[in-house]
């Protein structure tokens, strides 16, 4: 119930291509879904986030698509660049458990030049 399942575990994309990472959840009490980007040796950094009353949110080359009925959401990285190579984590937050984030297992993205 408190899990967030993320796939794929790793992803290789050519420069200029579209990277797609998927997440699924069970708990309908989650009310906030952020994506974090983490480079080796660094802490996770917030990339983009969405609430379940919105089906899509776009910020630059990054788009979250949200399907409330299917309890799934995904991150799309358009025109992927080698500098996007990092580990990406989806997460979910329960509406009244103080703000703790439940993270997916992470996706290691490699963008080949």
Partner 1 sequence: DSGVTQTPKHLITATGQRVTLRCSPRSGDLSVYWYQQSLDQGLQFLIQYYNGEERAKGNILERFSAQQFPDLHSELNLSSLELGDSALYFCASSRLLQETQYFGPGTRLLVL
Residue nearer to partner 1 on the CB measure, 30 or 66: 30
Residue nearer to partner 1 on the CB measure, 24 or 101: 101
**Shortest Cβ 87–partner 1 spacing (Å):** 10
**Shortest Cβ 20–partner 1 spacing (Å):** 20
Interface positions with partner 1 (CB under 8 A):
32, 34, 36, 41-46, 49, 89, 93, 95, 97-106
- Phi, psi angles (nearest 5°) of residue 59: -140, 100
Count of CB atoms within 10 A of residue 33's CB?
24
DSSP tag of 58: E
CA distances from 73 to 35, 39, 46, 79 (A): 10, 22, 16, 20
**Shortest Cβ 17–partner 1 spacing (Å):** 26
């Amino acid at each position: 119930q408190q899990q967030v399942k993320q796939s794929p575990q790793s992803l290789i994309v050519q420069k200029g291509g579209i990277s797609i990472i998927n997440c699924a959840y069970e708990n309908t009490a989650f009310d906030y879904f952020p994506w974090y980007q983490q480079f080796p040796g660094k802490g996770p950094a917030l990339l983009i986030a969405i609430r379940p009353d919105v089906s899509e949110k776009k910020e630059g080359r990054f788009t979250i698509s949200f399907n409330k009925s299917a309890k799934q959401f995904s991150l799309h990285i358009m025109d992927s660049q080698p500098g996007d190579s990092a580990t990406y984590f989806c997460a979910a937050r329960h509406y009244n458990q103080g703000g703790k984030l439940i993270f997916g297992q992470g996706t290691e993205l490699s963008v080949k030049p």
